[in-house]
């Protein structure tokens, strides 16, 4: 595995410094950010499509020994898996550590069980076979064809107040936080789509006729079913959120339940591509900056007045690089000002002595971090394995 500058020690250390800065600022406002990742991937062994041979309990025991707050479970497609974060009260910085460590260790843990290849990449080409029956969501016809599996990294975001209560439900805060993510996602797409194959993932439905089989989002959209979804009473599939069983019958079927959706309300940013080049620390920063943007008007009861009624779906870049009239993700990030400016602004508000910076040469943290991110792409290191 080639190590790119995007995952360099120097960039990681700077990103950690920025995370601490932002966490301290949010704490000073009286709130606690809650961010969790989900990561999809696939594996391959000698007996492809013959069912799972993974001992997931053993994998999860080893993750626990590594002090990773997460578990791996089987996903929808054969030989597809998903890492899900556990709610252990970890800070956003620890959550970034968790995902980074998982991406590093999981291929080794799968290899211990005889798995030849572990894929942490945006698309696993011909990863499964099948075709859904007409009008069905989960029943396959007798016809088979290659299914190219899209794999995502999803970031789930909520915020607690000083009492430990989830404020996504309050004062239109959830709607405004969702709007913040929608407005910043295009210019910052480079952060969560770090390699060229990430953009091929968005074309799978139309290019290969897999619209019935695949449900991954392909644009920037809101609501409770979009790519930046706000889940309150209803989830992605219109299911009741936070449903907890209270009474069972003799067959263990639920007789009585209650919906505690206040606890599970959140924003789900569903556009990230599974990739060994995904920098969890930079994406945590992206999440924290949006939280800060939403918290400030909350203090002044302005969230509702700042909401717009737009429900426009915004197309994503088609590539890392600009082509003809299509601006690529790299150029979009070069031109956008919000990311670096927001970090610089918080830096001025927080006591710098708490961050103990020694390597910035009097440059502002936001400018320095953005410069280092863009420098990673100037090396062309990410294109070697695309």
Task: Give the residues across from 297 on adjacent strands.
Answer: none
Give residue 362's pLDDT: 57
Q: Is 51 exposed, middle or buried (0-12, 13-18, 19+ CB in 10 A)?
A: exposed
Q: 253-260: which pairs have CB atoms within 8 A and are 24 or more residues apart?
A: 259/233
**pLDDT tens figures, 328-361:** 999 999 999 999 999 999 999 885 445 555 444 4
Q: Using the 8-state DSSP alphabet, how is residue 321 labeled?
A: S
pLDDT tier at 106 (50, 70, 90 boundaries)?
very high
Give the separation between CA 146 and CA 129, rounded to whole angstroms: 5
**pLDDT tens figures, 129-181:** 654 434 444 544 455 667 778 899 999 999 999 999 999 988 689 999 999 99
Kindly report the pTM of this predicted structure: 0.86
Determine the 3-state secondary structure of 147 from DSSP: strand
By C-alpha distance, which of 87, 52, 266, 255 is closest to 159?
Answer: 266
Give the separation between CA 155 and CA 162, rounded to whole angstroms: 23
Give the separation between CA 364 and CA 332, rounded to whole angstroms: 21
Give the separation between CA 279 and CA 372, rounded to whole angstroms: 12
Whole-number mean pLDDT of the chain?
83
């Amino acid at each position: 595995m080639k190590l790119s500058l995007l995952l360099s020690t120097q960039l990681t250390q700077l990103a950690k410094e920025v995370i601490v800065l932002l966490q301290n600022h949010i704490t000073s406002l009286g709130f606690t950010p809650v961010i969790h990742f989900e990561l999809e991937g696939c594996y391959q062994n000698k007996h492809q499509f013959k069912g799972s041979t993974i001992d997931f309990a053993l994998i999860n025991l080893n993750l626990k020994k590594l002090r990773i707050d997460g578990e791996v479970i089987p996903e929808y497609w054969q030989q597809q898996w998903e890492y899900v974060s556990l709610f252990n009260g970890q800070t956003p910085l620890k959550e970034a550590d968790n995902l980074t460590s998982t991406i590093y260790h999981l291929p080794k843990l799968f290899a211990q069980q005889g798995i030849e290849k572990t894929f942490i990449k945006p698309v696993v080409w011909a990863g499964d076979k099948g075709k859904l029956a007409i009008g069905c969501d989960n029943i396959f016809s007798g016809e088979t064809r290659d299914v190219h599996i899209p794999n995502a990294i999803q970031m789930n975001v909520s915020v607690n107040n000083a009492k430990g209560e989830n404020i996504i439900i309050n004062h239109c805060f959830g709607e405004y936080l969702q709007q913040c993510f929608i407005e910043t996602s295009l210019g910052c797409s480079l952060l969560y789509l770090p390699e060229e194959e990430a953009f091929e993932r968005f074309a799978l439905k139309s290019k290969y006729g897999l619209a019935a089989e695949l449900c991954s989002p392909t644009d920037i959209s809101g609501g409770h079913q979009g790519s930046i979804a706000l889940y309150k009473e209803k989830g992605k599939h219109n299911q009741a959120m936070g449903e907890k069983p209270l009474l069972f019958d003799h067959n263990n079927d639920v007789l009585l339940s209650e919906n505690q959706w206040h606890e599970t309300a959140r924003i789900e940013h569903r556009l990230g591509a599974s990739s060994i080049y995904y920098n969890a620390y930079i994406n945590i920063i992206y999440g924290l900056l949006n939280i800060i943007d939403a918290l400030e008007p909350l203090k002044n009861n302005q969230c509702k007045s700042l909401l717009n009624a737009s429900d426009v779906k915004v197309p994503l870049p088609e590539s890392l690089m600009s082509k003809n009239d299509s601006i690529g993700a790299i150029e979009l990030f070069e031109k956008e000002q919000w990311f670096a400016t927001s970090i610089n602004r918080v830096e001025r508000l927080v006591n710098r002595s708490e961050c103990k910076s020694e390597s910035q040469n009097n440059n502002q943290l936001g400018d320095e971090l953005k410069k280092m991110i863009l420098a990673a792409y100037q090396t062309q290191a990410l294109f070697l394995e695309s």
